[in-house]
Chains A and B, each alone.
Chain A
Amino acid sequence: MIEFKKITKEYPNGICAVKDVDLYVQKGEFVFILGSSGAGKSTLLKLITREESPTSGSLIVNNMDVLSLKNRQIPYFRRTMGIVFQDFRLISKMNIFDNVAFAMRVTGASERAVRSRVPYVLGLVDLTDKENSRPNELSGGEQQRVGLARALVNNPDLLIADEPTGNVDPSLSFEIVELLNKINNQGTTVLMVTHEHGLVGKFNKRVVEIENGQMVSDSCDEQLASGA
């Protein structure tokens, strides 16, 4: 699903955000990427979505060699993944239905497909009755669920969540991750970036910890090590 091989990303200003990262995520996995701010988590995600290109190394996402993608292929590459943002990024002048439908429409989906798919996805995140509300009429947790619905609407193989609980009431954070878990159980690979140790501890999932751009621990390896 995702294969980082000796990936290094150095920005033009000399800052090395990611150093020699090797990471392998299998299809259907749920992985937390844990690290404090500035550790290089966001850069890692940007490398996966091809917002940034690595300085060296090789990277395969959804069976595609990210580095050899041509510019015109990038949009189609991104359609294979869904992204959830920390700041929701909902369009305030559109209602909830349209916010979710937007992601479908921009990929050229037919209006009929939109009408059948969007209500289903809104049902998944339990927001069927909010279809006609505006984003600012919803709570933070609800807004993030809309963001989640939007990420899911194109039925991606990979779901990337960038600090999805960062702007959500702590009591509702659990609910969001639970929802991600539910989605994961249906076969979607989930990659969630967070700095909340406590939240991660509540779920028995693979945790990859990043510090200063380098991987410092991977619970998967530890399991293997303790098993051996």
Chain B
Amino acid sequence: MKFNSVFYLTREGLKSIWNNWVMSLASTIVLVCCLFLTGSVVLLSMSLNKTLSIVESKNNITIHLNSDVSSEEAEKIGKRIKGIPNISSCEFYSKEEAIQKYSKALGDLMEGLKGEENPLPDAFRVSMADLSKYDETITTLSELEGVDSIGDRRDIARRLTEVNHMVHYIEVGVILVFALVALFIVSNTIRVTMYSRRLEISIMKSVGATNLFIRIPFIVEGIVIGLFSSIVAIGLLRLLSNVILRILQRLIPFTNIAFDGINGSMATFFLLAGISSGFIGGVISIRKYLRKEAGKVIAL
């Protein structure tokens, strides 16, 4: 294929998008919806995964002490905790530190609660060497004198894992369904374009244009629609993830929920998905026409 042909054919494809702008717009909208919904599910699943790994990686447990435990007593408790076999590290986390962290997040709200008025308990942050002995260690810890409660993240992790599995299935289903819808939409648009250009196609055939030559403008059309749709969908997803992130930050100020926006590889995947659905849609829809002869194309 010569260079000037490529240029000519690309221009023809672009012109056809413009000439059939209603169909082009309609399919762009549907395609954007498909990509957007797919992207939302993927984003959800991704952030769940991340949250899960954060929760799991933090195997450190917070041991809250009774509020009437004095600092000397706390020190003794600390030594006793360190004496438990499975404990790999133990850090003292004073109520002053705790209140400072809260007031950083919540601001003035905590102002009156500093010093003597501090309602938070002292605590120890403990991590284990062997997670398989988790339950026994927790029991030993809770039996210590002066220990009020143990912040346990295990059940959160378990529940998140369940949700994550479910979301994963939904994700695969959604992607499959929307891929089919996207293909259908693009090939339908191109079929309409072909129908409106069947005279041109029949003339092309009768003057000896190769099938490749006839095909290229339509494939260009599909690719451009796909590309454009994926760009719009990426923009929308970014917008959505920013809004969600902001809402989450406002609702739960210090949270383990990791919500990522669209990253580079996902954007690339989107662009590829858009382009390939355009390409495949283009190829599928012209096959029917290319098999027919000039006279029959025109009679359609």
- Report the bound CA distance from A108 to B212 in whole Å: 11
- Report the bound CA distance from A103 to B8 in whole Å: 13
Give the distance to chain A from B83, nearest Cβ to Cβ, in Å: 84
Q: B203 and A103: CB pair below 8 A?
A: yes
What residues of A have a CB within 8 angstroms of the CB of B1 in the complex?
Answer: 108
Give the distance to chain B from A44, nearest Cβ to Cβ, in Å: 13
Does B200 count as interface, using CB distance less than 8 angstroms? yes
- Using A51-B294, A89-B202 as known contacts, say yes or no to A108 and B207 having CB atoms under 8 A apart: no
Which residues from 200 to 247 on chain B have a C-beta closer than 8 Å to any C-beta of chain A? 200, 202-211, 213-214
Nearest B residue (CB) for A99: B203
Give the distance to chain A from B3, nearest Cβ to Cβ, in Å: 9
Nearest B residue (CB) for A153: B207
Q: A51 and B293: CB pair below 8 A?
A: yes
What residues of A have a CB within 8 angstroms of the CB of B2 in the complex?
Answer: 108, 110
- Using A102-B203, A103-B203 as known contacts, say yes or no to A75 and B4 having CB atoms under 8 A apart: no
Instruction: Label chain B's interface by main secondary structure.
Output: helix
Does A217 count as interface, using CB distance less than 8 angstroms? no
Does A106 count as interface, using CB distance less than 8 angstroms? yes
Does B57 count as interface, using CB distance less than 8 angstroms? no
What residues of A have a CB within 8 angstroms of the CB of B139 in the complex?
Answer: none
What residues of B have a CB within 8 angstroms of the CB of A46 in the complex?
Answer: 293, 295
Does B5 count as interface, using CB distance less than 8 angstroms? yes
Give the distance to chain A from B21, nearest Cβ to Cβ, in Å: 14
Binds B, one of A3-11, A77-85, A202-210: A77-85
The contact of B207 among A72, A93, A154, by CB within 8 Å, is A154
Q: B208 and A79: CB pair below 8 A?
A: yes
Q: Please indicate which of the listed interface residues B199, B203, B210, B211 has the most CB atoms of chain A within 10 Å of its own CB.
A: B203
Does A107 count as interface, using CB distance less than 8 angstroms? yes
What residues of B have a CB within 8 angstroms of the CB of A173 in the complex?
Answer: none
- Using A77-B208, A108-B2 as known contacts, say yes or no to A89 and B199 having CB atoms under 8 A apart: yes
Contact with B along A31-69 (1 / 0, CB 8 A): 000000000000000100101100000000000000000
The contact of A107 among B199, B209, B293, B298, by CB within 8 Å, is B209
- Report the bound CA distance from A107 to B203 in whole Å: 12
Give the distance to chain B from A109, nearest Cβ to Cβ, in Å: 8
What residues of A have a CB within 8 angstroms of the CB of B208 in the complex?
Answer: 74-79, 106-107, 154
Does A105 count as interface, using CB distance less than 8 angstroms? yes
Does A172 count as interface, using CB distance less than 8 angstroms? no
Report the interface size class on chain B: 20 to 34
Q: B206 and A78: CB pair below 8 A?
A: yes
Give the distance to chain B from A164, nearest Cβ to Cβ, in Å: 14
Q: A106 and B204: CB pair below 8 A?
A: yes
Contact with A along B269-300 (1 / 0, CB 8 A): 00000000000000000000000011100100
Nearest B residue (CB) for A71: B211
Give the distance to chain B from A117, nearest Cβ to Cβ, in Å: 14
What residues of B have a CB within 8 angstroms of the CB of A72 in the complex?
Answer: 210-211
Give the distance to chain A from B261, nearest Cβ to Cβ, in Å: 44
- Report the bound CA distance from A74 to B291 in whole Å: 12
Q: B199 and A91: CB pair below 8 A?
A: yes
Give the distance to chain B from A155, nearest Cβ to Cβ, in Å: 12
What residues of A have a CB within 8 angstroms of the CB of B206 in the complex?
Answer: 49, 78, 83
What residues of A have a CB within 8 angstroms of the CB of B204 in the complex?
Answer: 102, 106
Q: A91 and B203: CB pair below 8 A?
A: yes
- Report the bound CA distance from A199 to B203 in whole Å: 27
Q: A106 and B209: CB pair below 8 A?
A: yes
Q: A106 and B295: CB pair below 8 A?
A: no
- Using A89-B203, A108-B1, A108-B5 as known contacts, say yes or no to A75 and B293 having CB atoms under 8 A apart: no
- Report the bound CA distance from A108 to B19 in whole Å: 23
Which 6 interchain pairs have the tightest Cβ spacing? A78-B208, A106-B209, A79-B208, A51-B293, A103-B207, A75-B208
B residues within 8 Å of A by Cβ?
Answer: 1-2, 4-5, 8, 19, 199-200, 202-211, 213-214, 293-295, 298
A residues within 8 Å of B by Cβ?
Answer: 46, 49, 51-52, 72, 74-79, 82-83, 89, 91, 93, 102-103, 105-108, 110-111, 150, 154
14 further contact pairs, Cβ within 8 A, besides A75-B210, A77-B208, A102-B203: A51-B293, A51-B295, A75-B205, A82-B207, A89-B199, A89-B298, A102-B200, A102-B204, A102-B207, A105-B8, A107-B207, A108-B1, A108-B5, A110-B4
